[in-house]
Amino acid sequence: MRVKGKHVMFSFVLLITGFLVSLSYQYTSHTNQQGPPLSDSQWQEEDELRNEVISEQQVNQKLTDSLREVQRQIKTVEDDISTSERLYLNLVEDIDQLRMVTGSVGVSGEGIHVKLDDAEYVPGEDNPNHYIVHEQHIQQIVDELLVAGAEAIAVNGHRIHQQSYIQCIGPVIEIDGETSFSPFEVTAIGDSETLDESLNLVGGVKDQLVNQNIDIRIEKRNEIILDPFFSEKG
Amino acid sequence: MWLPLLALIIGILFGFLTDFQISDEYSSYLSIAVLAALDTLVGGIRAHLEKTFDDKVFITGFFTNIFLAASLAFLGVHLGVDLYLAAVFAFGVRLFHNIAIIRRIFLVKWTKKSDSTTKD
């Protein structure tokens, strides 16, 4: 009986011992499979490398953000540029249009040609003043043409613009500081039909001028070229 | 005599078949437990050979040694001092001491036997 109890205890102790030993053995072989244990310096190095990678990633993240920001700015700037280019194109077209109107550039197109000349026959005792073309006659023609919708007008080749003046200086007239002689040729660009009719109205400009003994000739032309206001005169 | 041997084999089998992982911080506990078990075992063999074997001493020694070593290692881990080394050292020294005594006993026995055979 005593021997058996001792044996049981022995077996119990040996069981635990065997269990522990084999467990320890298994544990060691497991850790060996996982590769050699890392030394402190290796740990440190790995840690440093990991930190480096993380910081690099953070830097990358920041750079990506800023890149995105810059791309966004570029897009805005490009949009602005395209908008303003369109605006500039419109403005340039407007300027071209306005320059045509103000006489800064040459224009061409269909229009009307009016020739005013002094009367050829002057009765002896009469005042010759009544038989020559005066500045107000030209002014009348120009006004009538402008009212009728002429886009550009020139008198003897001098372009008439907003601030032009037509002045009488004795036997000749002065247009913007340049003297002109008879015969006077008024050329206007616009709808030639309308301009012609406006001048030929009954009791209109033509009739008045004819009554004042002025030789007036009106002809429609398909192509009239007007020089710009500030062009060099030969 | 076959029961302890069977128990040893069963224990070893259990140890191999149980597939639980021990994390690194508990590896010192395991090493101490193994050492304590071996120490007690060798101490038991030595006592048996010296004919002073007492099963109560043996069993209590076995368990208290393991428990004490584990608690010492636990304390060491929490104090930041490698106290389990002290247990390893103590068990190691005792293990070798016991083995040396066992060797001498066997040596004495063997010389006696050879003496008796030569005398006969």
Residue A33 has pLDDT above 70, yes or no: no
d(CA A138, CA A160): 12
**Four-residue CA torsion sign, A141, A226, A163, A231:** negative
CA distance B4 to chain A (A): 4
Q: Is position A36 within any domain? A: no
- Beta strand A215-226 with A107-117: parallel, antiparallel or unpaired? antiparallel
- Does B17 contact A at CB distance below 8 Å? no
Number of compact structural domains in chain A: 3
Q: Which of A12, A13, A24 sits opposite B31 (nearest CB)?
A: A24
pLDDT by residue (tens digit) across B46-95? Answer: 888 888 878 788 888 888 888 888 888 888 888 877 777 888 888 889 99
CATH, residue A198 = 3.30.70.1880
- For residue A82, give its domain range: 47-102
Q: Are residues A146 and A218 in the same domain?
A: yes
Q: Are residues A122 and A212 in the same domain?
A: yes
Q: Are residues A142 and A207 in the same domain?
A: yes
| Percent above pLDDT 90 for chain A | 21
pLDDT by residue (tens digit) across B22-40? Answer: 677 777 788 888 888 888 8
Model pTM greater than 0.80? no
Q: Are residues A135 and A156 in the same domain?
A: yes
Q: Is position A41 within any domain? A: no
d(CA B58, CA B65): 10
Q: Are residues A89 and A165 in the same domain?
A: no
Which of A1, A7, A27, A43 to mutate: most B Cβ within 10 Å?
Answer: A27
Residue B3 has pLDDT above 50, yes or no: yes
Tokens of B55: 């099963």
CA distance B38 to chain A (A): 7
Q: Are residues A68 and A84 in the same domain?
A: yes
- Does B65 contact A at CB distance below 8 Å? no
Q: Are residues A85 and A11 in the same domain?
A: no
Q: What is the pLDDT of residue B51?
A: 82
Which of the four pLDDT bands, split at 50, 70 and 90, describes residue A34? low
Q: Are residues A136 and A166 in the same domain?
A: yes
Which of A24, A33, A38 to mutate: most B Cβ within 10 Å?
Answer: A24
- Does B14 contact A at CB distance below 8 Å? yes
Q: Which of B11, B27, B33 sits opposite A15 (nearest CB)?
A: B11
Beta strands in A66-117 (DSSP E): 107-117
Residue A230 has pLDDT above 90, yes or no: no
pLDDT by residue (tens digit) across A126-178? Answer: 777 777 888 888 888 888 888 988 888 888 888 888 788 888 887 788 888 88
Q: Are residues A177 and A217 in the same domain?
A: yes
pLDDT by residue (tens digit) across A166-185? Answer: 888 877 888 888 888 878 88
The stretch B90-110 carries a mean pLDDT of 90
Which of the four pLDDT bands, split at 50, 70 and 90, describes residue A231? low
Which of B5, B6, B9, B12 to mutate: most A Cβ within 10 Å?
Answer: B12
pLDDT by residue (tens digit) across A193-214? Answer: 888 888 888 888 888 888 888 8
- Does B62 contact A at CB distance below 8 Å? yes
Q: Are residues A94 and A188 in the same domain?
A: no
Q: Are residues A133 and A166 in the same domain?
A: yes
Q: Is position A113 within any domain? A: yes
CB contact under 8 A, A13 and B58: yes
Where do the domains of chain B lie? 30-115
CA distance A67 to chain B (A): 46
Residues 6+ apart with CB under 8 A from B42: B95, B98, B99, B102
Which residues are bridge partners to A189 per DSSP? A111, A152
Q: What is the pLDDT of residue A63?
A: 96
Find residues 9-38 of chain A whose CB sits inside 8 Å of chain B: 9-27, 30-31
Q: Is position A15 within any domain? A: yes
Closest chain A residue to B40, measured at CA = A13
CB contact under 8 A, A21 and B12: yes
**Four-residue CA torsion sign, A36, A40, A45, A47:** positive
pLDDT by residue (tens digit) across A5-31? Answer: 777 777 887 888 888 888 888 777 776
Which of the four pLDDT bands, split at 50, 70 and 90, describes residue A37? low
